[in-house]
Amino acid sequence: MNWLVVFSNLQVSSAGTAGPIYMRIVDCVRTAIESGLLSPGDKLPTNRELSSFIKVDRSTVARAYLELSRLGLIDSQVGRGTFVSRGRAEQIVDPIVDASWQFERTLVGQPVQAAQPAGIEATTDQVDWSSRYSRYVAGLSGLISRLPQFAADDAISFAGGIPAQDFYPSVEFKKIVHSILDSDRGDRMFDYSPFNGEPELRQSVIEHLAGKGMDVLAEQLLILSGSQQGIDLVANLLVDPGDAVLVEEPTYFWAISNFRARQARLIGCHHDEEGINLAEVEAGLRRYAPKFLYVMPNNQNPTGLTMSLNRRRALVDLCSRFSTPILEDDYSGDLCYEGAPLPSLYSLSEKKDLVIYQGTFSKALCPGVRLGWLVGPEAVMEKLSFAKRTSDLATNSMAQVILNEFLHRGLYQEHLLRVNAVYKRRRDAMLSSLEKEFKPFAGVRLIKPKGGLFLWMSLPEGLSNRDLLNFARHEGVVFSPGDLCFSGVGGLNYLRLCFIQNDETITADGIARLARAYKKYLDYVNASASGLASQSPRTSNHVLI
């Protein structure tokens, strides 16, 4: 398809039309794909070509293409150009469904015609992997291109989501490993674990959850290889292509990625100061009949918000009235710096078949301990347990035995007392530095988290975190762009900053660098408006982190 045809109406009607120009480009491409005017694999114009054709700034086209990539509608290939995503609009016969249909026919005695393979001639050509990718990969289309590339240097990083390395329990783990290997329990570390987890660890987790007011039976608990696996298992169990899933807006990037890969339709619900917006949740429940709601009541990633008790109760009641399950992700509930922890949605629900609750030790302890858990209705857990077995057979036995001993000796609670005190100081240090360094700049807003790892920062509308990141890298500091965490369009003026990784001195230095970068970025924006700007900085030698 000649792209001139696609954009000709946009060129004619661009002036005087409501809405941002970049969103008109997004809508134009989306409509062309849905109508069949654009087909998978069709090449789109370059930024320069399209900006010249519709007479807008190249940055406007770049922003539109970024949003289209985020929606999984287009792919950008270095050296080749930008193309309509393959698989997005294609209707492919599901081989699993087709096979099931044939199997059912054999059960009722109906003859089944054997599938005739297409003729393939021998060739010495290279394997065309792109033609063999599944629809799962098509669902990932555009997501990888959204990830920022950070310079491979000694920049101060606020971009990650991991605990501070100086509090990793290496000494304690070393002692535990030696004591286990010297005992009659040592051989257990080298065997397969039971598919639902080591019994001793499961009991320790049940006791840990009892301290949170949760009454959990052994049959309701599944040990995971990290909480990310929980998201994956629940999605495997519940999500088919086209199904709706309610999510917070913004939310966890890798949850978005997982659901998108399954071609789910994500319905974003925004926040206020108490948590997820109930009016938007109810509207989503009524209109889309979603398979489930994915929500983080504690230290929400990326905003850091903790949902109020009243909002938790109302949310549970609302989902209960619509019989819509909740996947409650308590990824960092043990990192609490103010007040007593609030009850989980799971414990607040009178319907014990409503909530699947997942948690992890990774964020409070160390990321190398890839251990988490799922709690839910027994019938559902049976299905999830089987799904896990098909994925990885069993969770790492060594990690389970070591962690159970760590919990049994009371070392985890000691660790929490220590790190919560330190992380609270680091949070306060980052807030203090931001308030000091960004005081001269209007329109910058911060959310003070009550726990967790992240601080959410918003810039004035119209500014771009991606452009700011280019300036920040040159100042030796990096952060996570907030738009990664939006399931729909938006978020370009948000930043997520991790405050627990660096001590107070390094944090103060990093925020000062960020403020310098922000000033240079504003100067560049103002100069661009006056037509005096030089090219914004770019960084070479990139690696992904």
The fold adopted by the segment(s) 170-409 is Aspartate Aminotransferase; domain 2 (3.40.640)
- 289-328: per-residue pLDDT in tens? 999 999 999 999 999 999 999 999 999 999 999 999 999 9
- 184-239: per-residue pLDDT in tens? 777 777 888 888 999 999 999 999 999 999 999 999 999 999 889 999 999 999 99
pLDDT score of 40: 86
Rounded-to-integer distance, Cα 408 and Cα 199, Å? 13
- 268-286: per-residue pLDDT in tens? 999 999 999 999 999 999 9
At 26, the pLDDT band (50, 70, 90 cuts) reads: confident
- Report the SS3 class of residue 269: strand
At 532, the pLDDT band (50, 70, 90 cuts) reads: low
- 79-94: per-residue pLDDT in tens? 788 988 875 444 433 4
Torsion of CA 195, 196, 197, 199, to 10 degrees: -110
- 380-397: per-residue pLDDT in tens? 999 999 999 988 888 889
pTM of the model: 0.76
Rounded-to-integer distance, Cα 7 and Cα 124, Å? 41
pLDDT score of 149: 61
Q: Is 262 exposed, middle or buried (0-12, 13-18, 19+ CB in 10 A)?
A: buried
At 147, the pLDDT band (50, 70, 90 cuts) reads: low
Average pLDDT over residues 7-28: 66
Rounded-to-integer distance, Cα 77 and Cα 128, Å? 16
Q: Is the pLDDT of residue 329 over 60?
A: yes
At 141, the pLDDT band (50, 70, 90 cuts) reads: low
At 61, the pLDDT band (50, 70, 90 cuts) reads: confident
At 23, the pLDDT band (50, 70, 90 cuts) reads: confident
At 105, the pLDDT band (50, 70, 90 cuts) reads: very low
pLDDT score of 269: 97
Would you list the domain boundaries of the chain? Answer: 3-84, 148-160+418-543, 170-409
pLDDT score of 22: 81
CA quadruple 216, 219, 223, 229: dihedral positive or negative? Answer: negative
∠ CA 10-16-20 to the nearest 5 degrees? 70
* Percentage, residues of the chain above pLDDT 90: 59
Helices then strands, each counted (H, E), the chain: 19, 20
- Continuous H helices in 42-188: 47-54, 58-70, 95-107, 135-140, 143-146, 170-181
The DSSP result for 333-401, as a single string, is TT-B-SSPPPPPHHHH-SSTTSEEEEEESTTTS-TT---EEEE--HHHHHHHHHHHHHHHSS--HHHHH
Is 3-84 a CATH 3.90.226.10 domain? no
- 497-529: per-residue pLDDT in tens? 999 999 999 999 999 999 999 999 999 998 877
Average pLDDT over residues 147-162: 76
Specify the CATH number for 148-160+418-543; select among 3.30.750.24, 3.90.1150.10, 3.10.129.10, 3.40.50.720: 3.90.1150.10
- Report the SS3 class of residue 495: strand
Structure tokens at 534: 């030089």
Rounded mean pLDDT of the chain? 85
- 417-458: per-residue pLDDT in tens? 999 999 999 999 999 999 999 999 999 999 999 999 999 999
